[in-house]
Structure 1
Amino acid sequence: MFHRIGNAAFKKSLDNIIALTNALDQPQHKFKTVHVGGTNGKGSSSSMLAAVLQAAGYKTGLYTSPHLKEFTERIRVNGEMISREKVAAFTQQHQALFEEVKPSFFEMTVALAFDYFVEEQVDIAIIEVGLGGRLDSTNIITPLVSLITNIGLDHQLLLGNTVQEIAREKAGIIKPGVPAVINTTQPSVSSIFEEKSLETQSPLTFADQAYRVELKETKGLSSFYAVYKGDSLFLDELELSLLGSYQRFNLPGVLATVENLNNQGFTISEEHLREGLRNVQALTGLKGRWQVLGQQPLTICDTGHNIDGLRAVVTQLLALKPKQVHFVFGAVNDKDIASVLRLLPVSYRYYFCEAQIPRALPVQKLWEEAQFAGLKGAAYPTVEDAILAAKAFAQEDEVIFIGGSTFVVAEIPEL
């Protein structure tokens, strides 16, 4: 599968998923959906939307990828993971179909999710794009709204070497006549979304032009925001259980998508919105987004793994003004690791490691690249070894951060 072994598992065609869903009697057309794509923030945005819809009383499916600990995390209804028994039964029932079509892991998983959501009779499902958009296996749905979070450089070998090329792939989830919400106005790519929406006759909203979000404070395990619509205060003291100041960039897209759903007959009140956002993890099971794992020393993990994601992580770490940061860091082998390492502060102490997947960047190579970038630290064979070393060296008033790759976070024992 792509997330574990990389580019060799990616198929640039929708033929297989179409063949699978044809055999399953087109499950993707039997429930309402919101499609969520983008480079960063799509997992958080998907979970926020699912939490808000659940708080409003809608039976809500949620499809996300990759998983951290269990495959069943990818497919949820009202926060509850699909059972292993359901996965096994689906696989056994359709074995002959799989042998005929020869789908990828991701294609099989998408088909399973759509079939399960029909079986569970969901009112609506939030569907997160796996990779890109135009040729992603999820892109056979006709959603009520398409949300694109932001555009950055990631998976260039598959999606293109410029943000413009990547934006065109992401814009592929915009469907004829379906409202499109673009979370962030980026001058380098905005015209691509405008052209696509004209081509498809899709109403287009740049969410950050409709909503302005300001972080007011962080207390305990919540952040509080002021939200302005135009020049007027729209929501004061909006509590979000997802920490990380970068969530202020995701909130406008979530709010604009909720507004679109209300315009299409859903009933999502301010209280539903507030209840959902202050209970995102409890309602959806989301993990790994600026997640606090412990205190004294403050221990945090985050799945940010590309240049934009790690830039946000470093900004957040700097805002903590810690005496020292002990950074447990690993990466995958298809990243521009030299550019990534240049983002990291040379004053931090690093514990380089290698996740136990084929796609992981070998820790010796990572350590060598880090030396060129001026980063000081040691190499450890596993994530757990690196974490144990960081805990041994960190003082109570310092910070341990674990990240660099989704797969590093996935191997945190206490996650």
Structure 2
Amino acid sequence: MTYEQATNYLFTRLPMFSRIGAAAYKKDLSNTIRLCAYLDDPHNKIKTIHIAGTNGKGSTSHMLAAVLQTAGYKTGLYTSPHLRDFRERFRVNGEMIDKQYVVDFVERIQPAIDEIEPSFFEITVAMAFDYFVREQVEIAVIETGLGGRLDSTNVITPEVSVITNIGWDHMNLLGDTLPAIAFEKAGIIKQQVPVVIGETAAETREVFEKVAVEKQAPLFFADQQRYVAEWKYEHHQLLMQVSPAGSGERTTYQLDLPGYYQIKNCITVLEVVHHLQKAGYKITDAHVHQALKQVKKLTGLHGRWEVIHANPVVVLDVGHNEDGIKQITAQIELSDHQHLHIVIGLVKDKEIEKVLALLPKEATYYFTRAQIPRALPETELAARAQAIGLNGHTYSDVNTALKQAMSKADKRDLIVVCGSVFVVGEVSL
């Protein structure tokens, strides 16, 4: 079996949420438990940090991995979905999984796949645990796929549990109120394991407090421990001054992830690092400063207000739900530009009208779609957008749309590609 044959088998043989949506979502952990048992329970042989949340969990995972590997720990990182290469999901010290390992794993796991009939995500979770054990990682950062309580990753007992925030996404699967969504995310809270919540919200705080008490888990709200006293965005870098709550002291951090929304994620990371230090991890302030300056280089993170072209500036951002689009529009307002061009594609199971209502009416739009079954047809997207005053043309693929935007844009304009991880992932510029 070649690498191409192995990945084609995974993509076509197994239900894949990113392609078909809710039909691929398995509402219990039994398949993952059986797969891990087949592999001799690798998830019990590694130390982990578990990260859930509506937005920011990918950035937070990469920042923490960067800090840990800068501090000298051999660090695993499991995230999803991938942008361009399947192997992006599995990294050790920033390096993607070896192609031959993928082939060997698929050949080894095929009997279990035939018997258990797991989803694509369940297999990738088992692959991650198995790979990290084989690579003898000292700690692995594990990002949930969807929700928390019933997410396939939720078979681990981590050093720290992390929930970045709660917002509106996947309501068809997680619940149609913020407390209901929070309850699903709170499912990653484990017995006596410290839990860090990134953002305090009146609607969800009680949910976390109740679960934490039941699990005897020490609970910490990151934004109650520290705050950003001052920040600025320059040269595609974020500079921020952070103060402990109740103190006038300030520490300056430079972050190579320029979206202003990374401020919240950075505060979450600093709180998690504090608990790792208390647990005996040898992480210094110098390690944190050094890591945050080069998260992208250390971990391969892409698609978070990522500038890929100048004159005109072209930015890729994977923000795709209500909160994610709010963050993108706020970042647009901070950006110096003449005219705004937005290349956008959405998937069918999002709150389409709510997302579109957040977008600026003065922009020129290029409606497109990712090449997956879940994608909303560009003609339907354009019709729904035009009904609320967003005007533009339709394009059958993102690269055609982007080329058209670049041909129309002045050198002082801003082009933003957003709406779906899959649209961003297909950009070939």
TM over 0.5: yes
1:398 match: 413
Output the CA distance in 1 between the equivalents of 2:284 and 2:249. Answer: 13
Q: Distance in 2 between matches of 1:119 and 1:264?
A: 25
Q: Which of residues 261, 281, 291 is equivalent to 2:306?
A: 291
How many angstroms does 1:233 deviate by? 4.8
Q: What is the CA-CA distance between 1:318 and the residue it aligns to?
A: 1.2
How far residue 321 of structure 1 moved from its aligned partner, in angstroms, is 4.3
The CA deviation string for residues 202-236 of structure 1, in whole angstroms up to 9 with x for no partner, is 00000000010245222323211101002335553
- Which residue number in structure 1 is paired with residue 94 of structure 2? 79
Structure 1 length-normalised TM = 0.98
Residue type of the alignment partner of 1:89:
D
Q: How many residues align?
A: 414
Find the counterpart in structure 1 of residue 381 from structure 2: 366
| Alignment partner, residue 117 of structure 2 | 102
Aligned partner letter, 1:194: E
Asked if 1:388 corresponds to 2:403, the answer is: yes
Q: Quick one: distance in 2 between partners of 1:59 and 1:321? A: 40
Alignment counterpart, residue 115 of structure 1, candidates 119, 122, 130: 130
Q: Distance in 2 between matches of 1:15 and 1:187?
A: 34
Matched, 1:169 2:187: no
Residue 393 of structure 2 is matched in structure 1 by: 378
Does residue 227 of the first structure (1) align with residue 276 of the second (2)?
Answer: no
Which whole-Å deviations, capped at 9, do the CAs of 1:134-164 have from their partners, x for residues lacking one? Answer: 0000000000000000000100111111111
User: Does 1:90 pair with 2:101?
Assistant: no
Tell me which amino acid in the other structure corresponds to 1:404: G
Correspondence for 2:357: 342
Q: Aligned partners of 2:195 and 2:121: how far apart in 1?
A: 25
Q: Which portions of structure 1, spanning 4 or more consecutive aligned residues, are displaced by more than 6 angstroms?
A: none
Query: Displacement, 1:237?
Result: 2.4
Match of 2:32 among 5, 13, 17: 17
Does the Cα contact within 8 Å between 1:213 and 1:251 map onto a contact in 2? no
| Partner SS for 1:139 | coil
Question: Do 1:215 and 1:223's aligned partners in 2 also have CA atoms closer than 8 Å?
Answer: no
Structure 2: distance between partners of 1:214 and 1:408: 35
Tell me whether 1:212 sits opposite 2:227 in the alignment: yes
AA paired with 2:114? E
Residue aligning to 1:258: 273
SS in 2 for 1:409: helix
Whether 2:335 is the aligned partner of 1:308: answer no
Whichever residue aligns with residue 256 of structure 2, its letter is S
Q: Return the letter of the residue paired with 2:179.
A: Q
Equivalent position to 1:186, from 196, 201, 204:
201
What residue ranges of structure 1 are gaps of 5+ in the alignment? none
1:198 aligns with 213
Q: Deviations over 1:295-327 (max 9, x none)?
A: 100111100000000001001101214221100
User: What letter is aligned with 1:308?
Assistant: D
- The share of aligned pairs that are identical, in percent, is 50
| Secondary structure of 2:142's aligned partner | strand
RMSD: 0.9
In the alignment, is the contact (CA less than 8 A) between 1:214 and 1:248 conserved in 2? Answer: no
Q: Partners of 2:355 and 2:113 in 1: how far apart?
A: 39
SS of alignment partner, residue 4 of structure 1: helix
Tell me, yes or no, if the aligned pair for 1:215 and 1:245 is still in contact at 8 Å. Answer: no
1:245 aligns with 2:260: yes
Asked if 1:55 corresponds to 2:75, the answer is no
Q: C-alpha deviations, 1:345-395, integer Å up to 9, x for none?
A: 110000000110111001110010011110011111110110011001000
Tell me the distance in 2 between the aligned counterparts of 1:374 and 1:262.
51
Give the C-alpha shift of residue 44 in structure 1: 0.2
